[in-house]
Amino acid sequence: MRSSLSLAVFLLLTIPSACSVGKPCLCSSPLLGGLKVNCSSLNLMELPHLPSDITELYVQDNQLTSVLPGVFDRHVGLRKVSLSANSFHCDCKIQYLRNWLLKNKDIVVKEPVCSSPSSVAQKAIVELTDDHFSSCGPASCSDWTFNAVMGVALCCLVALLLWSLSLARNSTFTLDIDERHSGIEADSLRSLKPKHRRRLNTGQSEVSCDSDFVNFTEELERPLINMELLPQVLDVLHKKHNIKIKAT
């Protein structure tokens, strides 16, 4: 009776159990506890979802080219892993797997090798040096972290621009005008040369020259600024543009 019960328990623990790895993979629970997942020879191109209580993983003889960063970090109970006979492409994406293999040599059944590029083909992944990844970015810096930092920097820049515009809008400008400059001489703002030059022909009389000179003199004496409108201009500048002009 006791032997029959032991046999039933043994069969219950060793038959494939239901797990969320995927239909092709086989799951079983060894007598020592834990969960064994066998996904070998299934032409997988990426690792399936692994249960949290997995202790053994067999994914040899597949088409894996890389392993996502952090995929093994949450499975601290792993005691045996087989990754050999896969098509690993040893570029920057393989850096995480190489670092993990270096830290967990004792649980790896057979060291996986690079399939490409040709410069490192058939070379063990653990033999890749740091120089091989010199052109890669930091392994701990992911794309979403970079995007988040750039987003925060952009928001700060927009806030700074809005603050600058608000500060400029609320600023007050004061222009002091001395009394001695209130009456601006017209001839100080005009060019000393006449606008129009006429060619003097030999048949031109002295009367026409005197007439041009008189017209030019009258034009110079004509005031450029109507001082009666100055208070209105100052009032508009102060109310609409927040510019204060005071006479000293």
Tens of pLDDT, residues 176-210: 555 555 554 444 444 445 554 445 444 444 545 55
Radius of gyration of the chain, Cα coordinates, nearest whole angstrom: 44
Helices (H), the chain: 2-14, 95-103, 143-169, 186-189, 206-221, 230-241
* pLDDT tens digits along 19-39: 656 558 998 886 667 899 999
Judged on CB neighbours under 10 Å (0-12, 13-18, 19+), 75 is middle
- Is residue 203 assigned to a domain? no
The boundaries of the domain holding residue 135 are: 2-140
| Cβ-contact 90, 125 below 8 angstroms | yes
Structure tokens at 50: 């692994």
In which band, very low, low, confident or very high, does the pLDDT at 149 lie, cut at 50, 70 and 90? confident
Same domain for 221 and 101: no
Same domain for 72 and 21: yes
In which band, very low, low, confident or very high, does the pLDDT at 90 lie, cut at 50, 70 and 90? very high
The reported pTM is 0.50
Instruction: Kindly report the length of the chain.
Output: 248
DSSP assignment of 164-207:
HHHHHHT--EEEEE-GGGTS--HHHHS-SS-S------TT--HH
- The domain that holds 29 is classified in CATH as 3.80.10.10
Most confident of 147-151, 155-159, 187-191: 155-159
